[in-house]
Copies of this chain bind each other. A is one copy, B any other.
């Protein structure tokens, strides 16, 4: 019956949750998402976490690890969330995804002395944003 929204590769729950995150001016936590989609028939944590996991996996959203919160990817050419960088204001908590080609290239080509080859990185900068400083 209810068709999946395969035109953009997202299932029903994935689309509902992505839309919510994408429209949010700030990172959303899993349970905040849950409360906001209960009217759409998503009732339980696993439904939310499953959609989040998938959205992270395909690079539509990113997890801000220091906040346990999720933002939509604003960086269409980030290689499927393999190289993420964020700025986080410690006062107003605003989060921005950083799209800096030089930074991204520098880190993507960084090689560990101990012989480890990196596939992915996540960088979080903290400070005060323009407004707050």
What is the interface of chain A, defined by CB distance below 8 A to chain B?
65-66, 87, 89-90, 96, 98, 100, 103, 106-107, 110, 112-130, 133
Contact yes or no, B127 A116, CB < 8 A: yes
Q: Which residues of B contact A113 (CB under 8 A)?
A: 100
Known pairs A116-B127, A118-B125; list 18 more (Cβ under 8 Å).
A87-B112, A87-B118, A89-B116, A96-B112, A98-B112, A103-B110, A107-B123, A112-B125, A114-B130, A115-B129, A116-B133, A117-B127, A117-B128, A117-B133, A118-B126, A120-B126, A121-B126, A122-B124
A127 to B129, CA, bound (A): 32
Identical chains in the assembly: 2
Q: What's the Cα separation between A100 and B110 when bound, in Å?
A: 10
A119–B127 touching, CB < 8 Å: yes
- With a cutoff of 8 Å between Cβ atoms, the chain B residues found around residue A120 in the complex are 125-127
Instruction: Give chain B nearest CB distance to A51 CB in angstroms.
Output: 20
**Given A65-B66, A66-B65: A114 touches B126 (CB 8 Å cut-off):** no
When chains A and B are docked, how far (Å) is the Cα of A129 from the Cα of B118?
9
> Separation in Å of the A20 CB from the closest CB of chain B?
24
What are the nearest 8 A-B pairs in CB distance?
A: A65-B65, A118-B127, A115-B130, A120-B126, A118-B125, A123-B123, A121-B125, A119-B127
